[in-house]
Structure 1
Amino acid sequence: MPKIKAVEKLTITFLVDNSIEWMTKLPPGFILEVPLHLTHPDVPIDALTGVPFVDLENYCCGAHGFSALIETEVEGEESRLTLFDTGPDSRSIIRNVQALRIPVERIERIVLSHWHADHSGGMLALLRHRAASVLSTAAAAPPCVVDLHPDRPLARGIAPVSAGGRVVGRLPDDPHFAALEAAGARVETHAVGHAVAGGAVWVSGEIPRVTHFEGGLPSGVRWVEREGEATGKWVPEEDVMDERYAAIDVLGKGLVIFSSCSHAGIVNVVKDAINTFARPVYMIIGGLHLAGTELVERIPPTVDFLASKMRPSPTYVLPMHCTGFAAKVALEDALGEGCVPAGVGHRIIVEGSAEAEKRLFAATYSQ
């Protein structure tokens, strides 16, 4: 069984997501974007009234994609910054990093969940921004590691069932390895699970498909070119097998799971994490890929599993990115305040302790 270090403190900052949410009441440890700005030491102050400006020109923007900054703190060690995905484009990630004043020179690893441009599109811009920050601050920062699945596609496209399987568009190119290295990265490829961030963050390998209702991405196609054939062609690719999730174990809380698009199915993701670590799940974060008419039938069994069949059930589910409105409504109906309307600009602080771990152990094994 793989091992990861249990962390005493986990801080998550959402740098890219489809949604912006400023006003909803959030659970303890969750911080909305606006207070992060208004309480910052250099917030602009209005000379007329003497109160801070809500400086809308420099707040986060939403975009169809996902990116989460993961800060892990293990007792006796310096905290580590890992970036999980980089959003869809070169502009949103940089705007939001600047808005939230992220110390990008401290990001030591970028983990790409899978080869889709709404997750890889900001990677080159982020690397260049980091390199410029290192130069300007004279920080002694090693090259940023970019952690990738080795099976980079030539192209991926969209062929909706509603369009009769016709390819209606292709996604932009994912970054090439050479371009990443030219931007200052050190590229690593991993097809199997491995621990990063000093052993505190688990990056999965291939996610086993074990549920009967999670059938992948119906509209997924991939461009392939085979030796001896005059031209390439689009082939169906419902199973996005290069997809990976990330997991962190917080003392006294359990697993925090990041699944930024869940093409494998969030139930498959959760089952694999539990089987891998034999730990309860505290929080599930990311895109659950239940949006659109093609996937609506998966909503009831997915919600039923998360709300009723998981034992112990997760404390929080944060349905983001590609989850879809209908699935969010169903999750809130089933989970109540356990379904958190997270969005870009939010920060979450999860603190654990050895004493809490003892209580969790006793509660887990008494069930």
Structure 2
Amino acid sequence: MAASLKSVDQLTMTFLVDNCIEWFTKLPPGFSLEIKTHLQENHMRVDKLTDTPILDFDKFCCGAHGFAALIETEMEGEPRQYTLFDTGPDNTSLVRNIRAMQTPVEKITRVVHSHWHSDHTGGLLSFLDFRQNHPSSADAAPCIIDVHPDRPVARGMASGPTYTKVIARLKEDPSFESIEKFGAKVEKNAEGHSVANGTVWVSGEVPRVTDFESEGLKGHMRWKDGQWVSEPHIMDERYAAIDVVGKGLVIVSACSHAGIINVVKSAVDKFHRPIYMIIGGLHLAGNDMFPRVQPTAEFLSRTLRPSPTYVLPMHCSGFQAKLALEKELGDGCVPAGVGIKFDVTGDRGHDARLSAASYK
């Protein structure tokens, strides 16, 4: 096992921003729906007339086109670490959902941004403002904001079939200066590195090695030297990995511009561990991505060995990808969404029997 990533005994993850809300779906052991979390942790106001908890929808999570997940990691005998991975698209959804889930913002000491797209960075400044002014944060340490150094001036989207005319640009990402105004510290990292006391790995740039993912994503544009230029590969995107002892790697890939198979291969080549769970946006939505859906599902279910126990297709994965993954993986394809929480408990007695992941 590489020394750059320590194995954890406990992983808890809470999805604080996602496109979808799932209240009634069947989930595997260890997963909790939002309403169950509120009932178990006494988040809900009790009606005085009937002595029954009230479903107050103003106090529940909302969906939004973006992604954010709270990653809690713990090794036996060590303090629990709290890492926020991405911050959603806007100034309202993340803060609202943090309030709903009663997230301990003062304990979040690092925010990792997967890449410079505003549906993943748009909630950062409102989060920092909320954290700074929250009563529990009076003695909290400054928050570290972990970003790729190559922040674009602007990014936009061009439409097919020629992909030459930009139809819209994304909202500006937070500047380094605006982040520091909230007392946060910016860390610029283009290379892979471990955070959270060595329990979370943040990748560097992901190698593009899979044939059907090699061309990147058509229509992605970047403003450079006074003009729009094609940028199909979005090389600043990074994934996160956590190694749960006795289970294997949990991969969080917020948007998978590199291609989720490239992400998986990168993690396997780096750590030589089985993949237990794959989480996040798989970027398989839309007509251009449709040809990748079945090869992706077949790689994860038939080529990767051992195949992942769970795949959680979220954010930009698309309906067709969810259908294909459910067909291949059955209950291993988990319909996750905002407000869902899960726990993975390690097993040190079992870890010695785990086989390293492999693929051909």
Give the TM-score of the pair, scaled to structure 1.
0.95
> 1:147, 1:111 → 2: CA distance?
5
Contact kept? 2:106, 2:137, Cα under 8 Å: no
* Number of the residue aligned with 1:293: 287
1:327 aligns with 2:321: yes
Unaligned runs of 5+ in 2: none
> 2:239, 2:357 → 1: CA distance?
24
> Alignment partner of 2:11: what SS?
strand
> Alignment partner of 1:21: what SS?
coil
> 1:314, 1:169 → 2: CA distance?
37
In the TM superposition, residue 162 of structure 1 has moved relative to its aligned partner by 4.0
* Number of the residue aligned with 1:306: 300
Q: Can you list the C-alpha shifts for 1:325-344, whole angstroms capped at 9, x where unaligned? A: 01111111111000000000
Contact kept? 2:46, 2:52, Cα under 8 Å: yes
Paired amino acid for 1:311: R
Q: Can you list the C-alpha shifts for 1:144-196, whole angstroms capped at 9, x where unaligned? A: 00000000000000002247531000000000000000012100000100000
1:174 aligns with 2:173: yes
> Alignment partner of 1:202: what SS?
strand
Unaligned runs of 5+ in 1: 226-231
> 1:277, 1:138 → 2: CA distance?
36
* Number of the residue aligned with 1:137: 136
* Number of the residue aligned with 2:111: 110
1:249 aligns with 2:243: yes
> 2:336, 2:126 → 1: CA distance?
25
Contact kept? 2:105, 2:137, Cα under 8 Å: no
> 1:3, 1:163 → 2: CA distance?
44
> Any residues of structure 2 matched to 1:62-101 within 5 Å, and which?
62-101=63-102
Contact kept? 2:310, 2:333, Cα under 8 Å: yes
> 2:281, 2:148 → 1: CA distance?
19
Contact kept? 1:290, 1:324, Cα under 8 Å: yes
1:220 aligns with 2:250: no
In the TM superposition, residue 2 of structure 1 has moved relative to its aligned partner by 5.2
Cα gap change, 1:25 to 1:44, in 2 (>3 Å):
same
> 1:111, 1:347 → 2: CA distance?
19
* Number of the residue aligned with 1:229: none
Contact kept? 1:38, 1:53, Cα under 8 Å: no
Give the TM-score of the pair, scaled to structure 2.
0.96
Contact kept? 1:65, 1:87, Cα under 8 Å: yes
> 1:154, 1:50 → 2: CA distance?
55
Aligned alpha-carbon RMSD (Å): 1.4
* Number of the residue aligned with 1:188: 187
In the TM superposition, residue 105 of structure 1 has moved relative to its aligned partner by 0.7
Q: Give 4+ residue runs of structure 1 displaced > 4 Å after superposition.
A: none
Contact kept? 2:312, 2:335, Cα under 8 Å: yes
In the TM superposition, residue 141 of structure 1 has moved relative to its aligned partner by 1.4
> Alignment partner of 1:124: what SS?
helix
Paired amino acid for 2:352: K
Residue among 257, 263, 266 paired with 2:260: 266
Cα gap change, 1:143 to 1:13, in 2 (>3 Å):
same
Contact kept? 2:89, 2:120, Cα under 8 Å: yes
> Alignment partner of 1:327: what SS?
helix
Residue among 349, 354, 358 paired with 1:355: 349
> Alignment partner of 1:249: what SS?
strand
> 1:138, 1:65 → 2: CA distance?
26
> Any residues of structure 2 matched to 1:20-35 within 5 Å, and which?
20-35=21-36
> Alignment partner of 1:348: what SS?
strand
Paired amino acid for 1:354: R
* Number of the residue aligned with 1:342: 336
Contact kept? 1:161, 1:294, Cα under 8 Å: no
Identity %: 58
Cα gap change, 1:71 to 1:179, in 2 (>3 Å):
same
> 2:91, 2:15 → 1: CA distance?
16
* Number of the residue aligned with 1:281: 275
* Number of the residue aligned with 1:228: none
> 1:184, 1:341 → 2: CA distance?
37
> 2:88, 2:241 → 1: CA distance?
19
